[in-house]
Copies of this chain bind each other. A is one copy, B any other.
Amino acid sequence: MLIRAFIPAHITAFFVPVFHEEPLKAGSLGAGVNLSKGTNVFASIETGTLERHIHVAFNGEPVKREEAEITYYVAEKLVPKDFLGEVEVWQYFDFPNGYGFGNSAGGALGTALALSYAFGGTWLRAAQLAHEAEVKHKGGLGDVIGQLAGGIEVRIKPGGPGIGVTDNLFFEDYKVLVVPLGRLSTREVLDGDVVKAIEVEGRKALEELLKEPKPERMMVLARNFAEKTGLLPGELSEIARELDKVLKNPSSMIMLGKGLFALVRDEEAEKAKQLLSDMNLPYDIAEIYTERPKVGRWVG
C-alpha cells in the first residue's frame, strides 16, 4: 500500500509564541500564507516481515532517527506495536529545510495523515499528533494549524488543531515571491531574549490586522514587526528596500528563516525577478494554496 500526502509550505509573516506544558495548548498567534509548493510525503506499507521496521528518507536520502525526530515520533505513535512489516516514509521538500517554509510541520502532518489513512484514525487526531510532535521537538508552534487553515491565515486563538482558532483573509490575484537565502533555527530565536519584543510587536500587529483584515495591511504589519523586533538583519533589509522600489506591497522576512517573501501580482513579478537576477539572488514564485492538505492512496 502506497499513500501520498501533500502539505503546503507555510510562511509566517508575524507571530506571538504561546508556550504551555500541554502541547495542544501551546501554539501561536499571528498570520501567514500557504504556498502551492511544499512537502510531498509517500508512505509505503509492506507486510510479511518478521519484525516491525520504520525507515525515513528526506529527498531520497535515508535519515537517522536523531535527524528526523519529529517524523519518527509521529510514525512510532501510528504504526501499531504488533505490526510486522516495513513502513517507509519518503519526504520530498520543495524548499530547503530550516529556511522557514514549515518543512518539519509538513513532514509531521504528511506522515501523520498518510499513516492514519493506512492504519486508521481521523484528520483531527493526525493533525493533533503532528502538532504535538512539532511542539515537543521545537520544530515550531503554528505551522500545522496554519497549513490546515490554508490560504492567507490568521491565528486568532493559540493552540493546536481543535483548540486554536484560525481565520482567513480574502485576496485576489496574489502570488507569493520568495527569496530563500539561508537557515535560521527556530530553537535559537525562541530561546533568545528577542522573545519579549516578538511578544509585544506580534500582539500589536495582530490587533491592527484584525481592524483592517487585508493582505496588503498584513504585509505592512509584517515588515514593521520584522524591523521592530530586530529580527530583520541588515543584509535582508537592504534587499527588501530594493524590492520596495518595484513592488506595491512591502516584502518582509520569512519567520523564521534567512529569507524574504512578498505578495505580488503578475505584472510586478517580472520586475522583481529581473531585479533579483541582477542581484544574483535565488527566488521562486508560488500560488497561494487555499485548499486543504491532501492525502490518499497513490497509484503513481
Contact = CB atoms under 8 A, between A and B. Distances in A.
Interface in A16-66: none
A122 B213 contact: yes
Contacts of A120: 213-214
Contact of A167 (B122, B169, B213, B296): B122
A150 to B, nearest CB: 7
Majority secondary structure, A binding face? mixed
Contact of A290 (B157, B166, B292): B292
A154 B162 CA distance: 12
A147 interface: no
A237 to B, nearest CB: 30
A297 interface: yes
Nearest to A210: B122
28 contacts: A116-B170, A117-B170, A120-B213, A120-B214, A121-B170, A121-B213, A122-B154, A122-B167, A122-B168, A122-B169, A122-B170, A122-B213, A123-B167, A123-B169, A123-B170, A124-B156, A124-B166, A124-B167, A156-B162, A157-B162, A162-B165, A162-B167, A170-B295, A172-B297, A290-B292, A291-B291, A291-B292, A292-B292
Given A162-B165, A165-B162, A172 B296 contact: yes
Nearest to A167: B124
Given A172-B297, A297-B172, A125 B292 contact: no
A125 B213 CA distance: 11
